[in-house]
Amino acid sequence: MEARIGVLALQGDFQEHLASLARLGIAGREVKLPDDLVDLDGLILPGGESTTIGRLIHRFGLREPILEFARAGRPIWGTCAGMIVLAREVDPETRARTQHLLGLLDVVVRRNAFGPQIESFETELEIPAVGSEPVRAVFIRAPVVAELGPAVEPLARLPDGTVVAVRQDNLIGTAFHPELTGDDRFHAWFCRLARASIACALPERARRPAQ
């Protein structure tokens, strides 16, 4: 059975995530309302503008349902703004006045960490979790992970040691955008996590009729 993956489709580059999933043969579902989360095995929070995405999550009543989704052990992956929204805290110097966070990922992120003069760049990253070949990473007004809680594992670093991808159990955050490169290994890896979460799901999920 394929994992059923949703992409939060309130703002940002959700279409690019859906395109990446489609290349993997997965029909991702746009998530705009709480009911759209029903029966999903994994959720992607796209890049975009974290203040807007956070506000819309709040307005569309998605906050509690997403927290519940995470509590049920289902994987959630935030890319760039999505990682900010997942975070416990934003460094006060870069935090917007109204910045709704889900507070799931035990990290402090710094927004727009590469400064206005070099807002975008691309580089190759070693990410052993997704494969032995380096991954091309696109950073667009990207955040970095400034502090990691004890349960958070760094998945990728820049050459200076800055953490730009993390995992905390079923939660993944990347400061960059795998959906923009045409290299779908990160999405494939996330789908495998989502599939694995079906196998070790809570009892009520295990009782779902097989498809």
Kindly state whether residue 168 participates in binding ligand GLN, applying the rule CB under 6 A.
no
C-beta of 200: minimal distance to ligand GLN in Å?
A: 31
Q: With binding defined as CB under 6 A, does residue 78 bind ligand GLN?
A: no
Identify the active-site residue in 17, 100, 179, 191: 179
Instruction: Specify whether 200 is catalytic.
Output: no
Q: Decide: 16 and 80 in contact? Cβ < 8 Å.
A: no
Residue 15 interacts with ligand GLN (CB under 6 A)? no
- Catalytic residue selected from 16, 17, 100, 177: 177
Closest-CA residue to 135 (of 178, 164, 87): 178
**147 interacts with ligand GLN by CB under 6 A:** no
- Say which residues have a Cβ less than 8 Å from residue 82's Cβ, sequence separation at least 6: 8, 12, 44, 45, 46, 47, 48, 50, 53, 173
Q: Is 44 among the residues that bind ligand GLN (CB under 6 A)?
A: no
Residue 138 backbone dihedrals phi, psi, to 5 degrees:
-105, 120
4/178 with CB nearer ligand GLN: 178
d(CA 175, CA 194) in angstroms, rounded, equals 20
179 belongs to the catalytic site? yes
Using CA atoms, how far apart are residues 78 and 93, in angstroms rounded to an integer?
22
Residue 54 lies near ligand GLN (rule: CB under 6 A): no
The single residue among 8, 9, 26, 80 that binds ligand GLN, judged by CB under 6 A, is 80
Which of 80, 100, 187, 191 is catalytic? The answer is 80
Are 80 and 175 within 8 A, CB to CB? Answer: yes
Which residues are designated catalytic? 80, 177, 179
